[in-house]
Amino acid sequence: MNLVLQGVGNCKARLERIAALTASANLTWLGDSAVRCEGIAFSTALSQTIEVAAQAAQLDTTYSIGLHKMSDYKLVAMDMDSTLITIECIDEIADMQGLKPQVAEITEAAMRGELDFAESLKRRVALLEGLDASALERVYDERLQLSPGAETMLKAVQAAGLKTLLVSGGFTFFTERLKKRLGLDYTNANELEIVGGKLTGKVVGGIVDAEEKKRTVERVCEELGISPSQAIVMGDGANDLKMMSISGMSVAFRAKPVVREQANVALNFVGLDGILPLLT
């Protein structure tokens, strides 16, 4: 069994301290912020000890059998809100209506898996009725930021020839701009209905919910002639679990507990580029 430990910045002293707990005689340093401990004798007790110590040291831990290579994968699929970007776009749009607390509460419950996503989206979008469409541009220009490590990760996987998919329960207004800005290959998201320059409180067509996210990953894989096991899928909320479940590597990024528990990889401290030390 192998274990990759990683943190932010030069954290070599912390990495050495936690790596010592594994009793591994074979450490491979991946710069000053990541180390792979190879051939460790895995046990539940050891895992629990390492997890507690790593959490206290603000280090992420990823266990694997064998080594994973970048060439094992052909697609990286990402959720948008709170994964590729730091915000929930609908919450920020609602802030323009003075309704952010009400909408954010529904968003949070949906991401925890406590509400049906499609129904929760309809409820939230309905609250935006009458808002001037220029609010979308303001959110993009003033509030949207990429998550830490996003550009580094994307440049690395794109240079290696992997295709990229942004699939979101958010909105096409944002996914299409990010597609152009970041050179992404595929996108799928919900389209807000706009009439006379104002939001109607409705979406156009079907809703991109958990099932549609999964179908999107499957469709893109079929188009590329690959298996979903050759896809890396990243997300943070309960509506990402279905698409993550069919992937070869599922990555929970700053995710809700229900997502962290089911993912192969949980990145709580490092950026999205935290997948790179996992791929030799």
Catalytic residues: 79, 81
Q: Among 104, 96, 140, which residue's Cα sits nearest to residue 120?
A: 104
* Residue pair 36/22 in contact by the 8 Å Cβ criterion: no
- DSSP readout, 188-249? EEEEEEEETTEEEEEEESS---HHHHHHHHHHHHHHHT--GGGEEEEE-SGGGHHHHHTSSE
Q: Half-sphere exposure (CA, 13 Å, Cβ side) for 212?
A: 17
Decide: residue 124, CB within 10 A, 0-12 exposed, 13-18 middle, 19+ buried: buried
> Tokens standing for 181?
């800005």
133 touches 97 (CB < 8 A): no
